[in-house]
Chains A and B, each alone.
Chain A
Amino acid sequence: MNAVVEEHLNHDHKPTGIGRWLFSTNHKDIGSMYLWFAFTMFFIGGALALIIRAELFQPGMQIVEPEFFNQLTTLHGLIMVFGVIMPAFVGLANWQLPMMIGAPDMALPRMNNWSFWLLPAAFGLLIASLIMSIMGMGSAPNFGWTFYAPLSTTYGPDSTDYFIFSVHLMGISSVMGAINVIATIMNMRAPGMNYMKMPIFVWTWFITAYLLIAVMPVLAGAVTMMLTDRHFGTSFFDAAGGGDPVMFQHIFWFFGHPEVYIMILPAFGIISQIVPTFARKPLFGYSSMVYATASIAFLSFIVWAHHMFTTGMPVAGELFFMYSTMLIAVPTGVKVFNWISTMWKGSLTFETPMLFAIAFIFLFTMGGFTGLMLCIVPADFQYHDTYFVVAHFHYVLVTGAAFSIMAAVYYWLPKWTGNMYDEKLGKLHFWLTCISANVLFFPMHFVGLAGMPRRIPDYALQFAEFNQMASIGAFVFGFSQLIFLYVVIKCVRGGKKATNEVWEGAKGLEFELPSPAPFHSYTTPPQVK
């Protein structure tokens, strides 16, 4: 019996073949599936973006019909937000949380499996609508990722119902993922690891999980109202029946603004793990980082109407939302200064994860500043719905969130696979990505300020040069990601063996485990002092 028990504890015993993945309850396998799913969606969403940029390479209509262009922008936005950034962060949480808090696995492994497998179903529905559109069977969702009523209710194409159920599934998946994260962090920490000793990545995910639980149900409610408005005779957003389309925007952005922080708080956590490692100094201002994260999360609930300044709002409302939005710059500034102070007088080295982290700090801050410009009410009337907004949110989501995910993958990949990735190719990927992302998004500021509206397939002649630059940047950016794919596959298949601590002087429980990390992370809990 003892021998059997021994074996069971050491075991890497798991179903083989497809069953290993379908029925997996292991945090590492599920984490890998989340990450591969996000990576796949990244290429699909990216392909849509490249069609958009190809159409915008020149003024006039070239490649796609305007109706199809609208479907491209909608699907690109939905896939990148719900199919790439969110699942990638959940994948990182799955891989890292148990290792970083000294647990064997997530608290709710079966639910973990379910929350992953809902995602292919959700995106199957969404992408099916696009495929049907290409086959000439009616339009895919074409109202933008914000699906404002009445575009998505009265005027929504039939495929809107696919979209609605897809969002329901994504919501259930995210909520279950969040419950799992909270239960894991509350109940599975190693002895001695109190809340203020948790790594920052764990902290940011803890807070993000609460944000998810608070706002994903509101989104589910909004799409349910859309569904009943479309088919069951209610008039939530229909003025004829006493409803109000502007109310849709309030409900949507009550979800939408916290959602923005759901996509950036884990990124803050990742950067706060990477910078100390490569600066060889502990993180500057740990507790201020925790409090800043919590304040950002709180403020995210009281700023939503800054997305709606042009809907007609009394001055008092505009001032409130303008000032509360500006207030967010304070905790965010605390974070940026803490990262810089961590690097100050450190013995820095510039491996790929650190390069991505530094690029994140620089470029995310730029995205933050354009955000501050947008929150100024009188200026927003000019900037609203222009390419300036597009530039802003791509700086925070691509060079912000997506860069942090790439940094995290490079940082932890040796721990996951046991092999070092190819540093030369990693650096090549970084430089191509970083330069092309700026060629892609920086000119959008200029065309936006000059008045080019977003979500249009054609534009006035004077915007042509900047749009061509952006399109060239887009294609370089898109194809550079194939290098990333190659580096990851190469690293999974072999390479120089990684040490346990992977990076010289890396701190944290995950770097005390062997590389590759065992199937069940900490079968006996470590003692944290």
Chain B
Amino acid sequence: MKTVQSNQKETNNNQAGDTGLVIRKLLLLVAFMFGFGYALVPLYDVFCDVTGLNGKTGDKISFTKAPIVDESRVVRITFLASLNESMPWSFKPKQSFIEVHPGKPETIYYIAKNTSNKSMTGQAVPSVAPGLAAAYFQKTECFCFTEQELKPGEEKLMPVTFIVDSKLPEKMNELILSYTFFTSNKTNKKLTPSQKLSLNQDHKL
């Protein structure tokens, strides 16, 4: 009976083709596409790094020789500070804006204070608007490069040293640098859900 069935199968299979091979190829494609989903993550970061599309600034930059300073241009930079809603700190820039010559290093300060009654670690995430200017905004020192730990009630003056590249396109004369402070995952893990909630509520009140 078995042979009859397989004969029957053969007669129907006369478009040739090995079903097993088709399955293996398709499963490979499935595995590849699953991997591709994950590959989109680094690809996205690389794409944004290259184009500066999402306004994310790059990592620490060190200069081997002094950059060219363009004394003829003045760029106004406005500083913003915001807190993620899970973050019970107070956080603001020391100066609301400065005007700089492209190429000249500048240092500005942000002030953060832990207003909760627990020792907490925060992570600041920078963003530059307009997004395409992010590539020209180069930081040599920033409190966003590391996590910041503050004891209850502690206040900290946090520096950012940066250079606006003199290659900044002519039409961009006003930039906005904004930081958002998040509770870092370290703090989050230590807190129980109810603590997180109470932190939230403290903040909202």
Binding site for B on A (CB under 8 A): 4-5, 8-9, 103-104, 107-108, 175, 178-179, 182-183, 186-191, 193, 213-222, 225, 233, 235-236, 238-242, 244, 246-247, 250-251, 254-255, 312-314, 317, 522-525
Contacts and interface: CB of A to CB of B under 8 A. Distances in A.
Given A107-B19, A183-B23, A525-B14, A220 B37 contact: yes
B37 A213 contact: no
A239 B23 CA distance: 40
Interface SS of A by simple majority:
helix
Contacts of A219: 37
A175 B30 contact: yes
A292 to B, nearest CB: 24
A178 B183 CA distance: 44
B182 interface: yes
A241 B11 contact: no
Contacts of B189: 233
Contacts, number: 124
Given A186-B15, A524-B11, A217 B37 contact: yes
B27 interface: yes
B11 A525 contact: yes
Interface SS of B by simple majority:
helix
B123 A240 contact: yes
Interface string B80-109: 000010000000000000000000000000
A188 B33 contact: no
A233 B27 CA distance: 30
29 contacts: A104-B12, A179-B27, A182-B26, A183-B22, A187-B13, A187-B17, A188-B13, A189-B15, A191-B14, A217-B31, A218-B33, A218-B36, A218-B40, A220-B37, A221-B34, A225-B41, A233-B185, A239-B180, A239-B182, A240-B123, A240-B183, A240-B184, A241-B185, A242-B125, A246-B54, A312-B54, A522-B12, A525-B12, A525-B14
B8 to A, nearest CB: 7
A529 to B, nearest CB: 15
B44 A218 contact: no
How many of chain B's residues touch chain A, expressed as a range? Answer: 35 or more
A191 B15 contact: yes
Given A217-B33, A312-B131, A236 B41 contact: yes
Contacts of A251: 37, 40-41
A183 B131 contact: no
Contacts of B14: 191, 525
Interface of B: 1, 4, 8, 11-19, 22-23, 26-27, 29-31, 33-34, 36-38, 40-41, 44, 51, 53-56, 84, 123, 125, 131-132, 180, 182-185, 189
B8 A250 contact: no
A81 B34 CA distance: 21
Q: Nearest 9 pairs between A and B by C-beta?
A: A221-B37, A240-B182, A217-B34, A187-B17, A217-B33, A218-B37, A189-B15, A183-B22, A179-B26
A188 B180 CA distance: 59
Contacts of A189: 15
Nearest to A107: B19
Given A188-B12, A242-B125, A254-B40, 19 more contacts: A108-B19, A175-B30, A179-B22, A179-B30, A183-B19, A183-B23, A186-B15, A187-B17, A188-B13, A213-B29, A215-B33, A218-B37, A221-B38, A222-B37, A240-B182, A241-B123, A241-B184, A251-B41, A312-B131
Contact of A8 (B1, B131, B183): B1
